[in-house]
Amino acid sequence: MDVVVRDRRLRWPIAAHFEAAIRGQIVRSVDRRAKYILIGFDAGTMILHLGMSGSLRLVKRDIPPQAHDHWDIGVDSGWVLRFHDPRRFGSLHWTETDPTLHPLLAKLAPEPLSEAFDGEYLYRATRKRNVAVKQLIMNSQLVVGVGNIYASEALFRARVSPRRAARRLTRKEAAALAQAIKDVLGQAIDIGGTTLRDYVNADGAPGYFRQKLFVYERAGARCRVCKSSIKQFVQGQRSTYWCSTCQR
Ligand SMILES: [Zn+2]
């Protein structure tokens, strides 16, 4: 594998030895942990983050780099994987030890679609927590990757009010909520993501999950279940949407 780094100044500088370490290596695995992309080689692992504005695209090798195309790695004779990031909040780390022990990854909470995240985990994690349940499930120290849309939608499906103090979730509600989070994320992945602003999926197409939403950005519209009016309020600086009839 060949590699070209045009600008090392990402969120953290790209290590000086990166090119020598990766040259001639073959990709063995591609994984994800929270928002980090892990590309595994025999010699080590690239840990990538797209930051605010980064993107990875496979492009023909002979297409000249544009402004903000910070690095390429060759993936076969005709193509390169090219990283583009105008704001340079993205990052590239190289590690030659277990990437899950890297300081960026070691303390991350469980993935919502993993077995480690279930009703019992959620129930235990919410004990003694006075914070509203919606804010807690969006806290990446509890579970990673549950953003505002998915938190609102999962709470609707579990019939739990976003205002409820986390410690007052019953065991049964915690199980329903953990399952609802998995269902909402799984469905959004199947459909291809939720279109917001400039989001496109890996094929460059918009996501369509928006059409399946029950509450998010539906303030004033009728609840799809009970026909009441969907309500909105601000919680932790984020808009929350809910049905006060369906959710208690
Ligand atoms: Zn309702």
Distance CA 224, CA 125 (A): 31
Q: How far is the CA of 131 from the centre of ligand 1 (A)?
A: 24
247 within domain boundaries: no
pLDDT at 212: 79
Give residues whose Cβ lies within 5 Å of ion ligand 1: 223, 225-226, 228, 243, 245-246
Q: Are residues 228 and 125 in the same domain?
A: yes
184 within domain boundaries: yes
Q: Are residues 226 and 153 in the same domain?
A: yes
Q: Are residues 81 and 50 in the same domain?
A: yes
Q: Which of 120, 45, 149 is nearest to 110 (CA)?
A: 120
Q: How far is the CA of 155 from the centre of ligand 1 (A)?
A: 12
- Average pLDDT on 92-117 reads 95
**Residue 240: what residue type?**
T
Q: Are residues 81 and 179 in the same domain?
A: no
107 within domain boundaries: no
Checking 98-102 for CB contacts under 8 A at 24+ apart, the result is 99/33, 99/38, 99/40, 99/45, 99/47, 100/33, 102/47
109 within domain boundaries: no
Q: How far is the CA of 208 from the centre of ligand 1 (A)?
A: 23
Domain that holds residue 78: 2-101
Express each pLDDT in 41-77 by its tens digit. Answer: 999 999 999 998 899 999 999 999 999 999 999 988 7
Q: Are residues 173 and 226 in the same domain?
A: yes
Domain end among 101, 133, 162: 101
Q: Are residues 74 and 125 in the same domain?
A: no
Q: How far is the CA of 216 from the centre of ligand 1 (A)?
A: 13
Express each pLDDT in 164-209 by its tens digit. Answer: 999 999 999 999 999 999 999 998 888 776 655 445 555 555 556 6
Q: How far is the CA of 12 from the centre of ligand 1 (A)?
A: 47
Q: Are residues 179 and 143 in the same domain?
A: yes
114 within domain boundaries: no
Q: Are residues 133 and 228 in the same domain?
A: yes
Q: Are residues 39 and 81 in the same domain?
A: yes
Express each pLDDT in 72-82 by its tens digit. Answer: 999 887 999 99
Express each pLDDT in 224-239 by its tens digit. Answer: 999 999 999 999 899 9
pLDDT at 195: 54
Q: How far is the CA of 222 from the centre of ligand 1 (A)?
A: 8
pLDDT at 207: 56
Residue 107: is its pLDDT beyond 60?
A: yes
Q: Are residues 205 and 143 in the same domain?
A: yes
Query: Domain count of the chain?
Result: 2
196 within domain boundaries: yes
> What is the domain-level CATH number for residue 38?
3.20.190.10
Q: Which two tokens stand for residue 156?
A: 């609707």
Express each pLDDT in 127-173 by its tens digit. Answer: 999 999 999 999 989 999 899 999 999 999 999 999 999 999 999 99
Q: CA of 171: how far to CAs of 9, 27, 132, in Å?
A: 48, 43, 16
Q: How far is the CA of 224 from the centre of ligand 1 (A)?
A: 7
Q: Are residues 152 and 222 in the same domain?
A: yes
Distance CA 150, CA 156 (A): 10
Q: How far is the CA of 112 from the centre of ligand 1 (A)?
A: 25
**SS3 per-residue string spanning 23-45:** CCCCCCEEEEECCEEEEECCCCE
Q: Are residues 128 and 225 in the same domain?
A: yes
Mean predicted lDDT score pLDDT of the chain: 92
Domain end among 46, 69, 101: 101
pLDDT at 155: 98
Domain end among 37, 68, 101: 101
> What is the domain-level CATH number for residue 153?
1.10.8.50
